[in-house]
Structure 1
Amino acid sequence: MIDLPGVMDATWPAAALHRAGPWLVREGQGGGKRVSAASAEAPWQPADIALAEEAQAALGQPPLFLLREGEEALDAELGARGYRVVDPVVAYAAPVAQLTAVPVPPIRVFSIWPPLAIQTDIWAEGGIGPERLAVMARTTSDHTALLGRINDRAAGSAFVALHGDTAMLHALHVLPEQQRSGLGAHMMRAAAFWAQDRGAINLSLVVTRENAPACALYASLGMQIVGQYHYRMK
């Protein structure tokens, strides 16, 4: 059983964590919803929602909650207060041994830290800017960046980090003109080899449901859906 919340928070960390009554409020500093959302860590009452809203306002962040499976009551309460569903997400995972059964061709994917300038450029093309690079830089668990090459050029970049026996891949982006070349699959397998070398059992990731090409890639590798969540935002 993968500790999905623990892996997510450890491998893609918020700048700071704050407590507000029953809520864990993440300080994202522009790093995206995953590092900026509040989540319930203890039993809550409807009046407690204001505590999270006040804490997020103090951080200069909009009211944003992360809703996991089993939190239907909170989901309904937020919906009644005018919070809309944003970015439904699914989590995929597979044993690293399954992904490393097929070797990565030579001169395809390299593990590099800190990232090269070309990787920063590739991420920028995919909308992964300085604030998300800062998330990678503050990760304290074992981590690396992956540079993918195809057709004699650098064309893909990703970040992978380890928590316990599970590695999680983040920020995978392949340049549009090089997509459907197989590079994404090579980079996933390279992430699994990196994780395997560090004793990991599983490789995981999260992706929005609407990203059909990415979901198709992960399914083609035999990865299984192991969880889901969504956000509520005013």
Structure 2
Amino acid sequence: MTPDAGFAALAATWPARAVRDLGPVRLRDGAGGGSRVSAATLEGPFEARDIEAAEAAMHLEGYTPLFMVRAGEEALDAVLAARGYILADPTLILAAPLDALDIAAPEADWPPTADQLALWADGGIGPSRIAVMERVAAPKAVLDHPGGCAFVGRHGSVAMLHALEVAASARRRGVGRALMEMAAGWARAQGALTLTLAVTRANAPARALYAGLGYAEVTSYHYRRGAA
């Protein structure tokens, strides 16, 4: 899977409420759904004035300026750093071909149940992020396992996993692994070829789980956050 395919799947399976382009900068209205759906991205060659215009627009709309800086965008990163933007949440996009994964028949449905919503809420995934899931126009499902749940969607040949949550009382019991196998089963049933996900570099336990299951880094990104 290419980096572009990974970012396309990310955008399609975890979408902003609204998107508009201001010159080469794509602005997003995340409606409180977190950095992934709120960060601006660079979509073409730029000049410093383009960044200034985007920054002004975010301020005008009541947002703290926030950019997603993808691997290879060193020039953008340098400009933002020089403007005082703080680096945040270095993140990896990992992927694996379905043929290389253990697969289980999924317990999958939509919309989420009250129990799943409560489990997500306990993990900090509240109504604004549930609204992100509701906006997904592509095939999607909630995966269910005793003590855990996750959200999955498909964009073309790529399925992407989000919001994997395991209750504190069910951790270290194989729930995360079981959900990953169910995600692979759902992806195959949907005709996907690859399963992908995003994980922060700081989340060592999750990275160890995914590496053990055969996932490898495809690309990476981080955020640059400006002054409020």
> What is the root-mean-square deviation in Å for CA atoms of aligned residues?
1.1
Q: Which amino acid aligns with 1:113?
A: W
CA contact (8 A) 2:157 2:194 kept: yes
CA contact (8 A) 1:161 1:169 kept: yes
Q: Does 1:23 align with 2:15?
A: no
Q: TM-score, normalised by structure 1?
A: 0.93
Q: 1:205: which partner in 2?
A: 197
CA distance in 2, matches of 1:164, 1:58: 36
CA distance in 1, matches of 2:74, 2:202: 22
Q: 2:156: which partner in 1?
A: 164
Moved over 3 A (4+): none
1:129-168 equivalences in 2 (<5 Å)? 129-149=126-146, 155-168=147-160
Q: TM-score, normalised by structure 2?
A: 0.95
CA contact (8 A) 2:104 2:184 kept: no
Q: 1:83: which partner in 2?
A: 85
Q: Which amino acid aligns with 1:34?
A: R
CA distance in 1, matches of 2:53, 2:130: 30
Question: Secondary structure of the equivalent of 1:61?
Answer: coil
How many residues align? The count is 224
CA distance in 1, matches of 2:54, 2:179: 38
Q: 2:99: which partner in 1?
A: 97
Q: 1:58: which partner in 2?
A: 60
Summarize deviations over 1:6-60 as a string: whole Å, max 9, x none. 1111000000101111100111000000000011111100111111112222332
Summarize deviations over 1:134-153 as a string: whole Å, max 9, x none. 0000100000011111xxxx
CA contact (8 A) 1:99 1:189 kept: yes
- Which residue of 34, 37, 42 maps to 2:36? 34
Q: Which amino acid aligns with 2:131?
A: A
CA distance in 2, matches of 1:48, 1:122: 42
CA contact (8 A) 1:27 1:59 kept: no
Q: 2:122: which partner in 1?
A: 125
CA distance in 1, matches of 2:18, 2:95: 27
CA distance in 1, matches of 2:16, 2:100: 31
CA distance in 1, matches of 2:60, 2:152: 31
| Structure 2, unpaired ranges of 5+ | none
CA contact (8 A) 2:148 2:175 kept: yes
1:176-187 equivalences in 2 (<5 Å)? 176-187=168-179
CA contact (8 A) 1:148 1:156 kept: yes
Q: Does 1:223 align with 2:223?
A: no
CA contact (8 A) 2:151 2:164 kept: yes
Q: 1:195: which partner in 2?
A: 187
CA distance in 2, matches of 1:170, 1:204: 9
- Which residue of 71, 78, 82 maps to 1:69? 71
Q: 1:152: which partner in 2?
A: none
Q: CA deviation at 1:103?
A: 4.0
